[in-house]
Amino acid sequence: MIIEFYKYHGTGNDFVLIDNRSQFFDKNNIELISKICSRHTGVGADGLILLENDNQYDFKMIYFNSDGKQTSMCGNGGRCVISFAKKLNIIDDKVTFLAIDGLHEGIIKGETIKIKMIKVSNIHEVYNGCLLDTGSPHFVKFCPSVNKINVLKSGRELRNNKEISEDGVNINFTEIIDNYSIKVRTYERGVENETLSCGTGVIASALSAYSKGLVDSNRIKISTLGGELFVSFDFKNVYDNIWLEGPAIEVFKGQI
């Protein structure tokens, strides 16, 4: 079978996107998905995203980590699939779509793609860090300098630490720059490595920094290895109206 795909990235967090409205792609073929995402024997990506029809909303997003397994929400992937839907002429500049964690809204302004994420009710302080779910489970560890962290080694250790989570979490090393900006490096489960950026991870870091009084703005600039993102939110007992914004870039189209 010849599979047509598009490669996108959101601040270096890269994805293979496939138009699966005809339901031709085998979602249970973990080996195939993993092979496509392989950096050495496939296209190379942090994850694979299928765009499918939905009866109620503009489309449905199905996300797989690079290990081939369907997993929790991906914020940068969500922004990329919004851009992809625009390219396919499914949407104009506003969108509502369904993902594994529920309904999302999106807005396109040129190369900037904004996605509205789920509410966050609880931020738990555990193991000298913050544990929360922003569509994916994340642990936030504050550090004086993220550039000095061995993210692969320390991230892997924390990701598998049962005192943090029995199921394993994504790990975000976070540095406070000033009252409205932070720097984040993320170790992602499923990828089992550092990624250049993680959308749900920067949201987790921004909310955690705000909850601890380390920043005082409700619109926070986040520097990642792959570029800059912005997170904005409202807070009244819960974190609501959470938006992730940044670029989502088409890299190339191909067949495999």
| Residue of 37, 80, 130, 198 marked catalytic | 198
Is 198 among the residues known to form the active site? yes
Residue type, 43: V
Q: In this structure, what token pair is assigned to residue 248?
A: 């989502």
Residue pair 202/231 in contact by the 8 Å Cβ criterion? yes
Q: Which residues contact 39 (CB under 8 A, 6 or more apart)?
A: none
d(CA 132, CA 121): 9
Q: Among the options 74, 80, 130, 143, which is catalytic?
A: 74
Continuous segment of H or E residues that includes residue 247: strand 238-247
Distances (CA, A) of 112 to 76, 117, 134, 185, 191: 12, 16, 21, 21, 25
* Stated length of the chain: 256
Burial of 105 (0-12, 13-18, 19+ CB in 10 A): middle
Alpha helices in 135-230 (DSSP H): 151-159, 199-211
CB-CB contact of 134 with 207 (8 Å): yes
**74 counts as catalytic:** yes
Which residues are the active-site residues?
74, 198
